[in-house]
Chains A and B, each alone.
Chain A
Amino acid sequence: MKQLFLLAILLGFSASTIKAELRVLTCEPEWKSLVEELAGDKVNASSATTGKQDPHRIQARPSLIAKARRADLLICTGADLEAGWLPLLIRKSGNADIQPYAKGYFMATDHVLLMEKPEVLDRSQGDIHAAGNPHVHLDPRRILEIAKALAEKLQALDIDNSTYYQERYQDFELRWNKAIEHWQQKAATLKNKNIITYHRSWIYFQDWLQLNLISTIEAKPGIPPSSGQLAKLIKQSSATEVEVIFHAAYSHAKSAEWLASKTNIPLVTLPYTVGGLDNVNDLFSMFDTSINLLLEATNK
């Protein structure tokens, strides 16, 4: 016991004396990618979830608590997306810096307008989020707003490198705006196309590219579809010309596959976030790949 305790203290000291860079823990990989764009090698960032995990569902695992314990900055989506595990993670971390609204606490959805804020809060409507739909990272315009707020956060946290963060943000803004323009041009043909998605994860993406969401495979958020719901979807998709069905790499694919095979509508697995598909390593390639995959599917 005692030896272990001493060992732990020693490890603790050696870890806390080397503090050249900001330790960042993000809840989702898109924010890890964003903070790396904005801070380069001034941060040591890790993400609590990977692109293949459902951010609603994971548990406050010991490894995550250990990471939260040492984080200087916590970047998450917020808006109750991580309601099942983040409050617990923060509480168990024993880290004053990342407590709600402390200096190292950053929720992306605090800095943009949210869509789909429910008028009635009732769980009969499924696992809805009181603040609105939290999947904001699929709108590049909102990413830019979040980036701006995050750059300010970084400047406040690490004053020594303040100009560095400012420059990096300006550089990112330039590249990002160019990319947005490029994506919008490329995706122009997708405008007004009818789509079906698994979960309401893409509403910001749809809104940006003006896609037309016919229905979601889940009748209600967080509740897998029943056979009745699937039958209804078949009817619906034969009545309206649905061009493509898409779902996140992490979601339950079987019902989407079944629906696609019954209706002959192309099914596309989109990355949803960084790391969702193998070749998606950053925010730029996330949008590149998503648009390319949709164009491919609709051109057939």
Chain B
Amino acid sequence: MRHYVYILCLAFVVQIPTTMQAAEQQEIEQIKTELLLLKKQYQEKLELLEKRIQQAEKQVKKAQISAQRAENVARTAAAPKQTTAPTSNSDNSFNPAFSVIFSGVYAAYDEDPEEYRIPGMQLGGESGLAAEGFSVEHTELVMSANIDDKFYAKLTYALASEGSEVITELEEAFMETTSLDDGMKVKLGRFYSDVGYLNSKHGHSWDFVDQPLVYRGMIGGNYSDDGVQFSWLAPTDLYTLVGAELMRGDSFPAGGINDDEFGVQTAYLKLGGDWGTDHSWLAGISFWRGDLEARMGGHAHGEESHEEVVHMDDEHAHGAAADSAVFSGDSDMTILELVYKWAPNGNPTDVNLQLQMEYFQRDEDGLVWLEETDPLEMTRYKTDQSGYYLQGVYQFMPQWRVGLRYDRLDIDTIMDGLAGVDEEVLEESGLEPEGNPDRWSLMLDWSNSEYSRFRVQYNRDNSFGITDNQWYFQYIMSMGAHGAHTF
């Protein structure tokens, strides 16, 4: 087109001169004919192009019509004939469902977190405080899928760092049956025990940055071990689940069990239901008993240095000695759980409230000795410990939640008047109770979507006689498969 206009202009300019010579006239005629020719050629080309466009349009329309027809045919066709892949409610379209959960925390304390202790309790597992300053917590890799029509399996693998070293932890690796029917299920492998309410929950689904003191003191975070679980769900409208577990007993709060037996046995009963559409509840009682052989204390992460400083000076020794104390004997624990949730019309999208409490009671009876003492310092250890936490988490508008929690522990250890009890050894082991540890926690979190969450938390912690103000900022991000909305 542009050429055409250009030539037209050129022709016009050429026509302007008033003194026209014959030769020029001829030239003009020639140009005119050339122009006409060009015009004709362009017109032809344009027509051709127009035709092509029309054809293309026709084809598009044809395609649309045939697509519409195909759709109509597909719609009216019977279901089995359908060619599209079936969709389902699997955790993900991929097999297995895969997700990675990132978490990091910034922590600030008045007291040195390395000195944290609960006097009267042997701390172990993951009961240490998050490191001061900013640090990446566990990074969890989760994979799960149905193995076949009869089995399901799940792997939870955690990456964490200890100084410059990266450590890995097999949190869960289990298989479970899906088709025993009549509500029966068997689970085999390594898994989080189903005792209590929070024990089976991974860190990223907690409502606070840290575990309640009862979990920190008596369980060491979560009790995960190798074993087998049997459970049966009753065919009643009232949710009634009974279960029992036989565990190897290798991990805290068990530890060092004989290889040829199940050192820990648990049993639990859980009931639950709804009141109308707005309220739902869960209540449970769990029993945990272990025949422990040489349970070691010590925190799993970043707490190694303690063992070296045991005898440095009195104050340090007092704080850290519990790590070098070893316990053998019977441990019996009973856990009560109560959970209540409210949402208007049962729709938690805008606002909802969750109240929960757990009560722990534990008896331990056996021997405690201090490692690397010569002659061996040993004592009878008999203790009756209990504790509870109460918490409420309220979502006051979409994305925003606020939570309040109160923790308390009561530790009653026989310090004298019982044969074999050596008060001094107990003191040195850090197993002498000091008052009643308690703690208040306040948290606020914001979730952009179901997959991302930021949280700030303040703790007023009285675990060991000194009030410690603890501040946390935490992020939790999960990518991959859709997380499960557990009750």
Contact = CB atoms under 8 A, between A and B. Distances in A.
Contacts of B399: 224
B19 interface: no
Interface stretch (B28-36, B129-137, B253-261, B273-281): B273-281
A87 B451 contact: no
Interface residues of A, number: 74
A80 B89 CA distance: 5
A252 B398 contact: yes
B451 A100 contact: no
B178 A96 contact: yes
A57 B349 contact: yes
Chain A to chain B: the 8 pairs with minimum beta-carbon distance, closest first? A62-B272, A62-B239, A131-B87, A96-B179, A8-B234, A52-B345, A94-B183, A96-B181
A54 B349 contact: yes
Given A53-B345, A87-B484, A107-B89, A70 B235 contact: yes
B233 A94 contact: yes
Given A60-B485, A109-B87, A9 B239 contact: no
Interface stretch (B4-12, B47-55, B70-78): B70-78
Contact of A94 (B88, B185, B345, B486): B185
Interface string A63-106: 10111011000001011111111111001111111011110000
B347 A76 contact: no
B282 interface: yes
Contacts of B420: none
B154 to A, nearest CB: 10
A4 B233 CA distance: 13
Interface in A124-177: 126-127, 130-132, 141-142, 145, 148-149, 152
B233 A65 contact: yes
Interface string A242-260: 0000000011100000000
Nearest to B71: A113
Interface stretch (A11-19, A31-39, A189-197, A281-289): A11-19
Contact of B273 (A66, A78, A85, A149): A66
B483 A84 contact: yes
B135 to A, nearest CB: 26
B462 interface: no
Contacts of B366: none
Contact of A60 (B89, B234, B348, B486): B486
A132 B357 CA distance: 41
Contacts of A58: 346-348, 485
B345 A91 contact: no
A62 B337 CA distance: 14
Interface of B: 71, 74-76, 78-79, 82, 84, 86-93, 146, 149, 152, 176, 178-185, 231-240, 242, 267, 269-274, 277, 280-282, 341, 345-350, 398-399, 448-451, 479, 482-487
A206 interface: no
Given A85-B484, A102-B179, 11 more contacts: A52-B347, A53-B347, A59-B348, A62-B281, A78-B87, A87-B90, A94-B184, A99-B178, A107-B86, A113-B71, A123-B449
Given A66-B238, A80-B89, A57 B348 contact: yes
Interface of A: 1, 4-5, 8-9, 11-12, 15-16, 49-50, 52-54, 57-63, 65-67, 69-70, 76, 78-88, 91-97, 99-102, 107, 109-114, 123, 126-127, 130-132, 141-142, 145, 148-149, 152, 222-224, 250-252
Contacts, number: 204
Given A11-B236, A83-B89, A62 B84 contact: no
B235 A127 contact: no
A87 B178 CA distance: 12
Contacts of A145: 75-76, 79
Contact of A88 (B237, B349, B486): B486
A112 B82 CA distance: 8
B346 A52 contact: yes
Contacts of A12: 234-236
A232 B450 CA distance: 25
A197 B475 CA distance: 32
Contacts of B350: 252
Contacts of B91: 83, 87
Nearest to A87: B91
A169 B27 CA distance: 87
A61 B274 contact: yes
Contacts of B88: 78-79, 100-101, 107, 110
B449 A223 contact: yes
Contact of A78 (B89, B181, B235, B348): B89
14 contacts: A5-B242, A12-B236, A50-B277, A58-B347, A59-B487, A63-B274, A66-B238, A79-B89, A80-B482, A82-B89, A87-B90, A94-B182, A107-B87, A112-B75
Contacts of B345: 50, 52-53, 250
A62 B282 contact: yes
A91 to B, nearest CB: 6
Nearest to B242: A5
A93 B269 CA distance: 16
Contact of B280 (A63, A82, A91, A101): A63
Contacts of A141: 75
